[in-house]
Structure 1
Amino acid sequence: MGRVTERRRVLRIRDGAVSTRPDTLVAEEPLEIRLNGKPLAITMRTPGDDFALAAGFLVSEGVVGRAADVANIVYCAGATEDGSNTYNVVDVQLAPGVPLPDITLERNVYTTSSCGLCGKASLDAVRTTTRWPIADTPPVRVTPELLAVLPDRLRAAQRVFDRTGGLHAAGLFSPDGELLDLREDVGRHNAVDKLIGRGLQSGQLPLSRSILLVSGRASFELAQKAVMAGIPVLAAVSAPSSLAVDLAAETGLTLVGFLRGGSMNVYAGEQRLDLRARATAGAGT
């Protein structure tokens, strides 16, 4: 198994004083995901939870939706000249009867640690292929006060970030603000896939009674992953993209950006925010 962190020598300069010291860095390595033995995708990720990452990626692409859809996930041996296992190639075997998707590595299904595939065709595909339309899920109501405390709870649980300062985080919270799960990765979309994959493996999909919080911006890809997993609320500490807002508006996803302290912007799905307490307070002034 690959290491989450690595040590490197650095030249440190502080107020004119120069010294050398070891520094802890987050590891970044490629992961090739194969489907029934054929190459499907490559992503740059932080090693760890690789099976969950692969499973979550397949949920995001609409390939699987239940734990029973996956027969097995294994690391592929023989990835080096001596036949040893590098733990950088995983093969997902689908259960009998689960159709193979019309996507292969030859069609350039390649993701980096920072971006994914965007476009109007992608937006239309997400809206029409999600297994759990968010509008049909049980109602989830959240208050601005609850959302405001989530970034601090996420940050307090980021153990690897404390050592490296170089990881994105994705946290899954209950409607009451309880941290249900947290994953860290050099790629924000990988962290989300790891969360969703763990939900698939434990039979918890759709994640219709949860709030997804990400430590960076809310890209189209992250909104896509939330919708495909049935997550009704996506919050980010930074800005959303225009296409993420478009997707949220079309699918009913509640999208919150610039979540910092008691300040936030709600870009779509404001019907899930409980503003009664604030309305009452404002009426009394």
Structure 2
Amino acid sequence: MEGFVQSAEEALRRVRIRRYPGGNAADVDDSVVVEEPLEIRVNGRTLAVTMRTPGADRELAAGFLLADGILRSHDDVWDITRCADPANPLARNIIDVLVAPDRAPQPESGRQRYASSSCGLCGRGSIESVLHNAPPFDHAPPLRQSVLQSLPERLRAAQTVFQTTGGLHAAGIFDHDGTLLWAAEDVGRHNAVDKAVGQALLAGQWPVENAVLLVSGRAGFEIVQKAAAARVPAVCSVSAASSLAVDLARECGMFLAGFLRGSYMTVYAGAERLVPASTAP
């Protein structure tokens, strides 16, 4: 795997809990996932606040801005800094991305907003606006069913914090042969996608040709939108897809599959690209 930039230390906190194994109370220490706000600034101006699991904040901000159309390449990122104030520990939850003035959103654009860890950014643009920033894929390659079916297990092996807490979503970017290139965990599945995409962008290895994005939760509109903006033509999930996600995937010429579990999957868009296991070489 190319990179995984999130440590368990910053993503976990120990708390005292009471368990009831077999009906008997037992007080023990346990690990819980950390959830804190992250303020994303562009050239010193607040653009968004999202609830996230600390770690890979630079990558999260970069992936977020790529999906938002502010960043178009690695060269658009001049610098990414974390605010620091010894008198205010919460200042570490502020990331400022320095970009060229012509890439920064204007104050009158009304783009400042808030995102929860569960639903992502509400009120995002329509399918038409997504297509304006992310044109349809013209020549998406075929996908082997056997490779897709192997992806959940490969992503699960990289979910170190989930294995401790059971409380995080994950996203992984794979190549067409099923090699895991970038992976991330977060309390929000959309943040996990931004972190994985941001790793590729900041490593100077974006766009990733013929990649597949796998998410551990459902495939909603925003997940497909982020994949389209990142130029990832295939999205898979272990759960269901939403109606708007299906519509967007079809409009963009993407492959979209859900319920990727064992030998089973549901293909919502791009079924003609799938090479069944029985016919694959």
TM-score (norm 2): 0.90
Question: How far did 1:279 drift?
Answer: 6.2
Counterpart-to-counterpart distance in 1, 2:25 and 2:278 = 53
**Letter aligned with residue 231 of structure 2:** G
Counterpart-to-counterpart distance in 1, 2:243 and 2:271 = 17
Aligned-partner SS, 2:120 = coil
Conserved? CA contact 1:28–1:47, under 8 Å: yes
1:129-144 maps to which residues of 2 (within 5 A)? 129-130=133-134, 133-137=135-139, 139-144=140-145
Counterpart-to-counterpart distance in 1, 2:63 and 2:252 = 20
Partner of 1:36: 43
Question: How far did 1:77 drift?
Answer: 2.4
Partner of 1:125: 129
Partner of 1:152: 153
Partner of 1:180: 181
Counterpart-to-counterpart distance in 2, 1:176 and 1:146 = 6
- Alignment of 1:91 with 2:96, yes or no, is yes
Query: Percent identity over the alignment?
Result: 50
Conserved? CA contact 1:223–1:247, under 8 Å: yes
- Alignment of 1:260 with 2:267, yes or no, is no
Aligned-partner SS, 1:3 = helix
Aligned-partner SS, 1:221 = helix
**Letter aligned with residue 37 of structure 1:** G
Question: How far did 1:261 drift?
Answer: 0.7
Question: How far did 1:108 drift?
Answer: 4.8
Partner of 2:15: 8
Partner of 1:48: 55
Higher Cα Rg, which structure:
1
Task: Flag structure 2 segments of 5+ consecutive residues without an equivalent.
Answer: 1-6
CA shift digits 1:4-53 (9 cap, x unpaired): 10000001101122110001011111000011101100001110110110
CA shift digits 1:165-194 (9 cap, x unpaired): 100000111111111111001110001001
Aligned-partner SS, 1:209 = coil
Conserved? CA contact 2:120–2:188, under 8 Å: no
**Letter aligned with residue 238 of structure 2:** V
Count, aligned residues:
273
Partner of 1:278: 278
Question: How far did 1:239 drift?
Answer: 0.5
Task: Flag structure 1 segments of 5+ consecutive residues without an equivalent.
Answer: 281-285
Aligned CA-pair RMSD: 2.2
Aligned-partner SS, 2:58 = helix
1:224-263 maps to which residues of 2 (within 5 A)? 224-263=225-264
Question: How far did 1:86 drift?
Answer: 3.5
Question: How far did 1:76 drift?
Answer: 1.3
Partner of 2:223: 222
TM-score (norm 1): 0.89
Conserved? CA contact 2:136–2:251, under 8 Å: no
Conserved? CA contact 1:11–1:18, under 8 Å: yes
- Alignment of 1:76 with 2:83, yes or no, is yes
Conserved? CA contact 2:213–2:234, under 8 Å: yes
Aligned-partner SS, 1:238 = coil
Counterpart-to-counterpart distance in 2, 1:266 and 1:103 = 41
Partner of 1:283: none
Conserved? CA contact 1:258–1:265, under 8 Å: yes
